[in-house]
Structure 1
């Protein structure tokens, strides 16, 4: 009798690899024996496919229990798909209206490889402005947009990926241990403090960047969610810290309008 792959013309190894990916998506973390039993595949086959997926960066292995999970490479792919489907096009009318109403710069960004990438922006009409290029990777841990997106990840993953500025790189992790490098006097360079900051962002629903990446900039960021409730991007308002201005009062006024605009974009993406 012909196998399912032979009957349908599918490539068996690819079909099996994706069955592993789907199983990991459903159960978050599984070992070789568990995958073998669930998928009715030989352990040697499962081991070989996992080894390939791991080398390619699509799965991670927990160094404590040796089980496997899907990597954030799928998160990166998903963001690319969202952009290709027109996230920027959908968001732009709301961004323009927000920029007009608040008279500040507005940015839209996604997460890729634990960095933040600006995909759309509207610069402030002020004579003094911050020019942030589109498509350039910027550190997530010290930007309002990046911290908003990082707050959607669990603390264990954050601790696996990042390390304090004075901590040596670990050889036992599958990631490269991104060092919390200092950019300004306000940059968070301690991993415990970063995790605490992200926990606070999860509670209040928005993030702040008070001159942590660029001196003189105060940024507020909120999430953009899709029809499944997943955070697929973040949008920020950029305020300039000018001597004599009440930045806190201005920020609170802008925050209300930023949340409303983000809600409208999320609704346009099917979020209810």
Structure 2
């Protein structure tokens, strides 16, 4: 599997004014990589992810998955939303089965895959519960394996841990890493948290506050599971935090632009 973003741009037009959110992004993601998109809020990370997913069109450039241009959503790309987006009227079992039914996977294969995913996510015995009966960690694991159920070639994650507190976030990062190591699906994850990017990413692509440019693509050469207290781990965090700090300071025009976009 190879995912390639080529000269990708996104411009929103509000009235007679055009606002550039992403400008000429180019990068590749190879099979089995966990790539973190890191940058401040409003820099275009989620816009980029939704273009890769096929939820919206680019203004210029293109996205290719195995040489095929992305023009719409497809089963080759799974998506995990920040709020998990589990179907509240479905049990854990039915949530996980849903994408397989959509793809018309034969019933015996669905049941085999379901059993495999429940074991992977340590959700055996929980399959009859509904989302409101699950802890935050169980919801996250359910959303993750539901996205894997259809065997996507790449999994796109939009700040999947953004809604939890710091202590819970670190615990869920560890659970997420353990799940990913069992499956090794290619992942692109949006985050604005430097520690999260270093803990989970094989690579960290840093995006600028203005126009969503790529200002650094940093490989994280640390063994897994990662030791947050090691000196090398701390150096990666300092390096990436310094890049963000030294990025172009946002001016009032940019802040007004973001305000208008939020109301559009």
Determine if the TM-score, normalized by the shorter chain, exceeds 0.5: no
Ranked by relative contact order (alpha carbons within 8 Å, sequence separation 6 or more), the top structure is: 2
TM-score with structure 2 setting the length = 0.29
More strand by share: 2
Greater radius of gyration (CA): 1
